[in-house]
Amino acid sequence: MLPEGNWITRAPNLRRKAILLAKVQDEGGHGLYLYSAAETLGVDRTELLSQLHTGKAKYSSIFNYPTLSWADIGAIGWLVDGAAIMNQTVLARGSYGPYSRAMVRICKEESFHNRQGYEIMMTLAQGTPEQKAMAQDALNRWWWPAVMMLGPSDDKSPNSDQLMRWKVKLESNDAIRERFIDRTVPQAEFIGLKVPDKDMKFNEKTGHYTHGEINWDEFFEVIKGNGPCNAKRLKDRVEADKKGRWVREAATAYAAKQAKEREIA
Q: Which is nearer to another protein, 109 or 178 (CB)?
A: 109
Smallest distance, Å, CB 46 to another protein? 5
Phi-psi region of 237 (alpha: psi -120 to 50; beta: other; left: phi over 0): alpha
**HSE-CB for 229 with a 13 A CA cutoff:** 17
Which residue in 1, 43, 231, 255 binds another protein (CB under 8 A)? 255
Q: Indicate whether 83 belongs to the interface with another protein (CB under 8 A).
A: no
Segment near another protein (CB under 8 A), from 8-16, 32-40, 139-147, 158-166?
32-40
CA dist 96 and 86 (Å) reads 19
Q: Which is nearer to another protein, 77 or 151 (CB)?
A: 77
Interhelix angle 173-190/129-148, nearest 10 degrees: 170
Q: Indicate whether 41 belongs to the interface with another protein (CB under 8 A).
A: no
CA dist 21 and 1 (Å) reads 13
Q: Indicate whether 253 belongs to the interface with another protein (CB under 8 A).
A: yes
CA dist 73 and 121 (Å) reads 9
Residues 42-61 that bind another protein (CB under 8 A): 44-46, 49
Q: Which is nearer to another protein, 15 or 262 (CB)?
A: 262
Q: Indicate whether 243 belongs to the interface with another protein (CB under 8 A).
A: no
Q: Indicate whether 254 belongs to the interface with another protein (CB under 8 A).
A: yes
Smallest distance, Å, CB 86 to another protein? 22
Which residue in 14, 41, 259, 265 binds another protein (CB under 8 A)? 259
CA angle 6/11/13 to nearest 5° reads 155
Q: Indicate whether 247 belongs to the interface with another protein (CB under 8 A).
A: no
CA dist 231 and 196 (Å) reads 27
Q: Indicate whether 29 belongs to the interface with another protein (CB under 8 A).
A: yes
Pick the closest to residue 7 from 74, 81, 59 (CA basis). Answer: 74
Measured in degrees and rounded to the nearest 5, phi and psi for residue 202 equal -85, 130
Q: Indicate whether 1 belongs to the interface with another protein (CB under 8 A).
A: no
Q: What is the pattern of x (binds another protein, CB under 8 A) and - over residues 197-236?
A: ----------------------------------------
**HSE-CB for 76 with a 13 A CA cutoff:** 19
Q: Which residues contact 50 (CB under 8 A, 6 or more apart)?
A: none
Rg (CA), the chain: 20
Binding site for another protein (CB under 8 A): 22, 25-26, 29, 32-33, 36, 39, 44-46, 49, 101-102, 105, 109, 245, 248-249, 251-256, 258-259
